[in-house]
Amino acid sequence: MKLLVYKAGIWPKKCNLKGRTHIKATLTTFLSRTSLYWVVVLLSGALLSAPALVCAQPASRFESIAQEQAEKAKTLKPPVPDKAELLLKKAEDLFLVDPSGFFPYFDSVYQGGGLTAGAGYRKFFGDNSLWDVKGLYSVLNYKLIEGRIVSRDHWDKRIRFGTRVGWRDATEVSYYGIGMETNKDNRTNFRFQETYAEGFGELRVRPWLPIRSTVGFEQWNTLEGKGDEPSIETQHTPATAPGLGADIGYVHSRISAGIDWRTSPGYTRRGGLYQATLHDYRDGGGLYSFQKLDGEVIQHIPLLRETWVLAARGRVETTLNDSDVIPYFMLPSLGSGSTLRGYSSYRFRDRHSMLFNAEFRWLPTVGLDMALFYDAGKVTSRRSDLDFHNLKSDVGIGARFHGPMATPLRIDLAVSNEGWRLVFSGGPIF
Amino acid sequence: MRIFLNRKTTILALTLATITLASPSLMTAAKFYSDDPLLTAPETQNASGVTPWKIDLFYDLLSNQFTKPGLPPGSRAGNVNTIDEVPDSSWFTNRILAHPLRIEELVRGPLTSDGPAPGQLTIIRAKSEGAAPGFTVRDSAGTTWFVAFDPKSNPEAATGALVVAMRVFWALGYNQAEFYISELTRERLQIDPVATFQPPSGKLRPMTMKDIDPVLARAAQKPGGAYRIVASRLLPGKILGGFKYFGTRPDDPNDTVPHEQRRELRGLQVFGAWTNLVDVKALNTMDTLITENGQSRVRHYLLDVGSTFGIGANGPHDWTDGYENLFDKDKTLKRMVTLGFYLQPWQTVDYEDNPAVGRFEGDEFDPLTWKTRVPAAALLQALDDDTFWAARRVMAFTDEMIRTLVRTGQYSDPAAEKLISDVLIKRRDKIGQAYFTRINPLVNFSLDGSGILRFENAAEKAGIVKTHGTWSAAWSILNNNTGASTPLGETRGEGGQIAIPRNMPATPGAYLVAAVQGVNPPYAAWAKPAQATFRRTPDGWKLVGLERLTRLDTYEGRVPASRSPVNPAGTSGE
């Protein structure tokens, strides 16, 4: 019970609870042993004399306050954080600070893997260098284990470099065939296991001018697909699924350059990214070598003091040489929570792809953005077919829970001509 | 002999017992003590046992934003004396309004020196808390200073706001740290050989100048390469950590009034609105343990009043600052379902563009709807008598005082100085208009030997109304021991004077009560009485009691300082 307390004010004080409890106990005993007459008489007496009995009245205001302070002095205790505060502090250490030690890890093994979680161990060395080992596991039995060494913030935070090695296993990746006219009921699955090792570096001559380069080796082994759908080899041949049955090792070189003036890749309300990335996949046997160029333009336009944000992305992935054979699992694709949200993962694959996302975002409160969105895109076998005809599209609504620099949770509900899809993601769409 | 009670008599007995136990009013002795009103709050206990604590920022924000900490609202301030004033204490010292403040006093404020001594500044620590770039240095005289800079986007803004606000809040009565505007160059800095730095790896290592460069890189630089800084002196005493805006410190025996019931903290609802002090949180406060006259006690500071006017530590205030809490359930839902088209004033209010000021304006400002970034229990519990108390202090700042105070911000752009001053004056006037009209505004009651009750109308003095108006006084004699009152009749008067009835008591120790209320007042709230109580002394009548709210007004939160507009007389429904 909380008492309203009037301290130095002119209103009456309340007596302490200890005194009341004592009287209550006395009266209870009394009632059980004495006649009604005496109960009434004595209670009336108590009523009149209670103030004197219970409250030792101070002689002055000063004394009155001094009494309270003396009373409190008897029950002092050190300030101790309560359980909730301790719990929150632990969570802060775990998620916001960057200490050496174990940490929870939320990411994706590969698109379509379902709910995924994991953990890692991190150890810093020097000021800004660390190594870590982490693992992920998804409800569809997708697995990833990765170790890396990263050194960052060199040359006034302009240079970052590192290396990583890892292995992942995606058990039921979907394949519907090539092109836009495939049937959604003709889904097949394949499984792949990728072992990779790479080194990477990033230079920002200016904070908004990133140049990134990666060189690494990737070994792709494909296996019989798991899941309810038939495995790919039962429905397709190398003619409809190039590279079917092949295990391929690539030396993958990648270089990207662009202008990035977003406040953060993880969350932004203004700025843009205009970036081109060149991939060179070199197969040891030469049969499956290819080059690919990705172009991406992202723009965020805040309106009325960021009451709304118009956000748009255009992305093109194109294979450079028409004669190159690209294995089916490396083809540019559309369909997923980060491309065409109304379609299942890897719904469309071909040698070239084009994607357009537009969002009308509004900000109901700090930490929560809502969005109405429209996605459209297509895949084609010829670059010249990358136009605005016969696009696959969807619309939807989403909620994003974010901090100033990151979006830990994005929930999108999209609808396309193939039905409804609910997307949970641990990052922004763009 | 033992008897059994029937149901009726049992109920009777229990009722009597309950009344006895539960009725505090029956246990009350004198309403006024001989030493009322206290002008200094007693702090009688030795507080040397207090231990430092660290209030977690996020926990503090979350608990204030999503729970309702503290006692239920609706209670009158717990630390006011019997004449509705805040006694001096380790929290608060009556300055402006209590006595005339000279301009020199205002300009000096809490400062005791001229700032860091000339010569090298030795960096002894990196900054561990707060968003603004900074570090801790020791000057050539051996004094420790905390150094903070202006954000690059807003040169002079944060440093200027801090030194101006420091003086404003000192004048209002709060304990303030000493902040000095100064200048430094990189060459003036050196690293203490034992200073350590914590890189992202978390491992402490010796600090180097390279560790300081990122801090300087975030700071606004003057054309010559120097940095304008604000240096704050290390507080005297042992640093204990901040205080919360609710509850009490469990290890401080003198901290017996829940903070949400401290009037000087409730008053921050008004002071904060005036200066746009949006970042009210425990982390911006500080307790220290000091020893004076052989006794240790805790002194309480409003440590960081820099997020004021239009600026925060890292740039201009957010658009929503002063208008919305970080989270507002109703507005959030409305914006969710209207695609953001549920527009609020902050989305269209016009700000004069001046980087040294940030977002600060007075035309759209509404003191009744102004909000801190995160709710603070003490501010939320402010009642109309609390806000009136605070508004009187705001209104005591003259235009000249305000302009002089803003000049101490040393803004190189005269337009910035003028803008801040003009806005403060506008906001001050709006505060007077808002809070002097929500409650009976009579002040400075006295009862002289000639039989005249004298008082002033704070609203008239502030220019809110042109005439003093007609007031009536209902007189009664108070039995101080029983609380019983004997009516003596009613008299009326104008011009701040009302004659007392003829049959008033003259014996020493007698108590006379005048409940003074407006007659056809321009504001409905003025028709509620302010109740002044006088005690007869050998020297005449002494004011010992003043209440603007009756218990009915406050108990169970019937009249919290609601944010609804004031109703003119006749439309309030009262």
pLDDT at B558 over 50: no
B34: in domain = no
Looking at A20-29, A369-378, B233-242, which range is the least confident one?
A: A20-29
Judgement on whether residues B337 and B249 belong to the same structural domain of the protein: yes
The residue of A1, A10, A206 whose CB has the most chain B CBs within 10 angstroms, and thus the best one to mutate to test that interface, is A10
Nearest to A4 among B3, B20, B75 (CB): B75
Q: Please report the DSSP string for A229-251 in residue order.
A: SPBHHHH--TTTSTTTT--EEEE
The nearest alpha carbon in chain A to B22 belongs to A20
- pLDDT for A328-340, tens place per residue? 999 999 999 999 9
Spatial neighbors of B152 by CB under 8 A, at least 6 apart, are B218, B219, B220, B221
CB contact at 8 A, B525 and B437:
yes
Give the per-residue pLDDT at A28. 45
Residue B275: phi and psi, rounded to 5, are -95, 0
Please report which confidence band the pLDDT of residue B467 belongs to, taking 50, 70 and 90 as the band edges: confident
The residue of B339, B373, B386, B550 whose CB has the most chain A CBs within 10 angstroms, and thus the best one to mutate to test that interface, is B339
CB contact under 8 A, A372 and B339: yes
pLDDT at A32 over 70: no
Give the per-residue pLDDT at B25. 43
B574: in domain = no
Asked if the C-beta of B543 comes within 8 angstroms of chain A's C-beta atoms, the answer is: no
Please report which confidence band the pLDDT of residue B553 belongs to, taking 50, 70 and 90 as the band edges: low
Judgement on whether residues B426 and B452 belong to the same structural domain of the protein: no
Among residues B216, B237, B258, which one ends one of the domains? B237
Portion 102-121 of A in contact with B at CB < 8 A: none
Residue ranges of alpha helices (H) inside B232-307 are: 263-266, 268-275
Give the per-residue pLDDT at B392. 98
Q: Is B336 helix (H, G, I), strand (E, B) or coil?
A: helix
Judgement on whether residues B233 and B252 belong to the same structural domain of the protein: no
Judgement on whether residues B176 and B118 belong to the same structural domain of the protein: yes
Across chain A, mean pLDDT equals 88
Judgement on whether residues B113 and B86 belong to the same structural domain of the protein: no
Beta pairing partners, A178: A349
CB contact at 8 A, A151 and A128:
yes
Residue type at A402 in one-letter notation: H
B98: in domain = no
Give the per-residue pLDDT at A15. 40
Give the per-residue pLDDT at B400. 97
What's the number of domains chain B is made of?
A: 3
CB contact at 8 A, B309 and B420:
yes
Give the per-residue pLDDT at B313. 81
Asked if the C-beta of B173 comes within 8 angstroms of chain A's C-beta atoms, the answer is: no
CB contact at 8 A, B172 and B95:
yes
Distance between CA atoms of B388 and B523, rounded to whole angstroms? 15
Judgement on whether residues B449 and B553 belong to the same structural domain of the protein: yes
Asked if the C-beta of B456 comes within 8 angstroms of chain A's C-beta atoms, the answer is: no
Which domains are delineated in chain A? 17-73 (no CATH), 85-425 (2.40.160.50)
Asked if the C-beta of A41 comes within 8 angstroms of chain B's C-beta atoms, the answer is: no
Residue type at A398 in one-letter notation: G
Nearest to A43 among B17, B213, B335 (CB): B17
Judgement on whether residues B128 and B228 belong to the same structural domain of the protein: yes
* Domain residue limits at B183: 107-237
Question: What CATH number has the domain bearing residue B147?
Answer: 3.30.1010
Nearest-5° Cα angle at B43, B40 to B48:
145
The nearest alpha carbon in chain B to A16 belongs to B24
Judgement on whether residues B395 and B301 belong to the same structural domain of the protein: yes
Nearest CA-CA distance, residue B447 and chain A, Å:
20
CB contact under 8 A, A24 and B17: yes
Among residues B435, B461, B492, which one ends one of the domains? B435
Nearest CA-CA distance, residue A417 and chain B, Å:
25
Judgement on whether residues B411 and B279 belong to the same structural domain of the protein: yes
Residues of chain B contacting A59 with CB distance shorter than 8 Å: 33-34
CB contact under 8 A, B555 and A127: no
The nearest alpha carbon in chain B to A49 belongs to B27
Question: What CATH number has the domain bearing residue B362?
Answer: 1.10.1070
Please report which confidence band the pLDDT of residue B130 belongs to, taking 50, 70 and 90 as the band edges: low
Portion 214-273 of B in contact with A at CB < 8 A: 214, 217, 249-258, 261
CB contact at 8 A, A367 and B335:
no
- pLDDT for B209-241, tens place per residue? 989 998 999 999 999 999 999 999 999 999 999
Per the listing, tokens 């190159």 go with A324
The nearest alpha carbon in chain A to B39 belongs to A62
Please report which confidence band the pLDDT of residue B149 belongs to, taking 50, 70 and 90 as the band edges: very high
Please report which confidence band the pLDDT of residue B425 belongs to, taking 50, 70 and 90 as the band edges: very high
Beta pairing partners, B543: B534
Give the per-residue pLDDT at B194. 94
Mean pLDDT over B507-515 rounds to 94
Give the per-residue pLDDT at B418. 98
Nearest CA-CA distance, residue B319 and chain A, Å:
7
Q: Is B9 helix (H, G, I), strand (E, B) or coil?
A: helix
CB contact under 8 A, A40 and B16: yes
Give the per-residue pLDDT at A320. 97
Beta strands B189-191 and B121-126 are parallel
Asked if the C-beta of A72 comes within 8 angstroms of chain B's C-beta atoms, the answer is: yes
pLDDT at A40 over 70: no
B219: in domain = yes
CB contact under 8 A, B21 and A64: no
Q: Which is higher by pLDDT, B248 or A11?
A: B248
ipTM of the complex: 0.88
Nearest-5° Cα angle at A127, A126 to A133:
65
Mean pLDDT over A23-37 rounds to 46
Residue ranges of alpha helices (H) inside B252-374 are: 263-266, 268-275, 329-337
B228: in domain = yes
Please report which confidence band the pLDDT of residue B487 belongs to, taking 50, 70 and 90 as the band edges: very high
Nearest CA-CA distance, residue A372 and chain B, Å:
9
CB contact under 8 A, B332 and A99: no
Nearest CA-CA distance, residue A211 and chain B, Å:
22
CB contact under 8 A, A127 and B343: no
Portion 340-359 of B in contact with A at CB < 8 A: 340, 343, 346-348
Give the per-residue pLDDT at B129. 65
pLDDT at A2 over 50: no
Give the per-residue pLDDT at B24. 44
Mean pLDDT over B244-255 rounds to 96
Q: Could you give the percent of chain B with pLDDT greater than 90? A: 79
Judgement on whether residues B335 and B270 belong to the same structural domain of the protein: yes
Distance between CA atoms of B61 and B375, rounded to whole angstroms? 8
Nearest to A61 among B38, B335, B555 (CB): B38
pLDDT at B550 over 50: yes
Among residues B173, B205, B237, which one ends one of the domains? B237
- pLDDT for B179-212, tens place per residue? 999 999 999 999 999 999 988 777 889 999 989 9
- pLDDT for A383-417, tens place per residue? 999 999 999 999 999 999 999 999 999 999 999 99
B44: in domain = no
pLDDT at B570 over 70: no
pLDDT at B438 over 50: yes
Judgement on whether residues B257 and B335 belong to the same structural domain of the protein: yes
The nearest alpha carbon in chain A to B51 belongs to A78
Q: How far are the Cα atoms of B388, B397, B466 from residue B393, in angstroms, in the given order?
A: 9, 7, 21
- pTM value is 0.87
Please report which confidence band the pLDDT of residue B501 belongs to, taking 50, 70 and 90 as the band edges: confident
Nearest to B199 among A10, A58, A127 (CB): A127
Judgement on whether residues B281 and B155 belong to the same structural domain of the protein: no
Q: How far are the Cα atoms of A15, B12, B164 from residue B19, in angstroms, in the given order?
A: 13, 11, 55
pLDDT at B427 over 60: yes
- pLDDT for A186-233, tens place per residue? 999 999 999 999 999 999 999 999 999 999 999 999 999 999 999 999
Please report which confidence band the pLDDT of residue B549 belongs to, taking 50, 70 and 90 as the band edges: confident
Give the per-residue pLDDT at A56. 63
Asked if the C-beta of A18 comes within 8 angstroms of chain B's C-beta atoms, the answer is: no
Task: Respond yes or no on whether the N-terminal peptide bond of residue B258 is cis (omega within 30° of 0).
Answer: no
Q: Please report the DSSP string for B48-59 in residue order.
A: TT-------HHH
pLDDT at A36 over 70: no
Q: Closest Cα partner for B228 from B183, B185, B161, B179?
A: B183
The nearest alpha carbon in chain B to A2 belongs to B71
Phi-psi region of A179 (alpha: psi -120 to 50; beta: other; left: phi over 0): left
Across chain B, mean pLDDT equals 90
Asked if the C-beta of B129 comes within 8 angstroms of chain A's C-beta atoms, the answer is: no
B412: in domain = yes
Nearest CA-CA distance, residue B178 and chain A, Å:
28
B43: in domain = no
Nearest CA-CA distance, residue A260 and chain B, Å:
20
- Give the torsion through C-alpha atoms of B207, B209, B214, B217, to 10 deg: 150
Beta-carbon pairs below 8 A across chains A and B: 236
Distance between CA atoms of A387 and A366, rounded to whole angstroms? 39
